[in-house]
Amino acid sequence: MKEKIHPDYHKITVVMTDGTSFETKSTWGKEGASMRLDIDPKTHPAWTGVRQSIDRGGRVQRFKDRFGMTSNMGAGTKPSGAKPEETPAKGAAKKK
């Protein structure tokens, strides 16, 4: 095994989102450094099982309106009265 090619393995303190902490060994930072977590197993839905469904700014509804999706339709179909989408001319300004 080659010498002096491996990163330094040392003790650090990991601080969870609720303020609790534990000591572990890592190659992150320097000896005695403190790593503060933004997301951890105590708060992330993948570990807590609490599902958060957030529709920011009506994005889901805008998507459904744009593509004409309703709950009784299959994927890729449009309602019978749907107008074909207009493609803007090259260099045309976008509508806001």
Cβ pair 32, 24 in contact under 8 A: no
**pLDDT on residue 64:** 83
**pLDDT on residue 95:** 58
Compute the distance between CA of residue 21 and CA of residue 12 in angstroms, rounded to an integer: 10
**pLDDT on residue 29:** 94
pTM: 0.46
**pLDDT on residue 54:** 61
**pLDDT on residue 23:** 97
> Digits of tens for pLDDT over the chain (96 positions)?
788 898 999 999 999 999 999 999 999 999 999 999 988 888 777 778 777 666 566 777 888 888 887 665 555 555 555 555 555 666 656 555
**pLDDT on residue 76:** 54
24 contacts: CB under 8 Å, gap ≥ 6: 11, 12, 14
Going by C-alpha positions, the residue among 25, 22, 24, 23 that lies closest to residue 8 is 25
**pLDDT on residue 30:** 94
Tokens 């529709």 correspond to what residue? 55
